[in-house]
Amino acid sequence: MIAIICANWFELEDSRGYLKISDQGAWNEVEYYKGDLLGKPVLFARTGVGIRRARNGTNYLIQKFRPELIISAGLGGALGDGLRVGDIIVAQWVLSLKRNDKKGLFCHINRMSMDYMKGGLLTENRFIHDPDEKRRLYRQTGALSVDMETWGVVEAAEVHGCPVISVRSISDDNRVALPDMRLFYSGSGELSKLNAFRALISNPRLIYPFLRLALFDIRKSRAILTRFLRELIRNC
């Protein structure tokens, strides 16, 4: 079985739509759907935002379903120069600055017809939304992209000896200033429309870039991620 793990369903909304569901369930903040995709047993699961939720959710999913491969998939912010919305990054390693540690990832995938890049991934337990900080982190770490979950997924998976592929589709390049979207979420890790409204009203100059992200860039990034994941699963 292949387990595809994300933080929020909106990242895999298109991909999950192709799954022929045979089972579904929930545990704490985890939600999952099990079924058939392209003739293969596949599990889609949402853990919630952040390293702790990703680690706990992945540990539960491995113990319950014993997947042969985990794909940590979703959207990511660009740190490196020249990356554009919809560029696909297959991470060779993931870095935690808090732990001052780097972990290698499984990235030897079969030939793909779609373009993608291999490189480093930084996991931070916060949203990186400021262009100056994005560029500083690129100079400091060499990571091409940043997310909030892959480190937690890998921490849990390595205990069980389960390989992890991390795939990120770029949703925002390193020139774009965005709201601190940590403020958009509730204490349980759920996206809150009320919290988002309050955050945007407090900083109106970021309303336009947020709307561009939400209405155009995320949709483009997600559509390309969906195509890539389908081809990846077909080739596994």
- CATH code for position 215: 3.40.50.1580
Residue pair 144/121 in contact (Cβ under 8 Å)? The answer is yes
**pLDDT for position 187:** 65
Residue pair 30/189 in contact (Cβ under 8 Å)? The answer is no
Of the chain, the percentage scoring pLDDT greater than 70 comes to: 98
The residue-averaged pLDDT of 122-148 equals: 95
Residue 211: in which H helix or E strand, if any?
A: helix 207-212
Q: Residue 193 pLDDT more than 80?
A: no
First-to-last C-alpha distance (Å) of the chain = 10
Confidence band for 189, pLDDT divided at 50, 70 and 90:
low
Q: How many domains does the chain have?
A: 1
Structure tokens at 229: 């994941």
- Domain holding 48, by residue range, is 2-235
pTM here?
Answer: 0.91
**pLDDT for position 180:** 76
**pLDDT for position 198:** 82
Of the chain, the percentage scoring pLDDT greater than 90 comes to: 75
**What does residue 67 show for φ and ψ, rounded to 5 degrees?**
-70, 150
Kindly state the DSSP code that residue 234 receives in the 8-state scheme. Answer: H
The residue-averaged pLDDT of 25-45 equals: 96
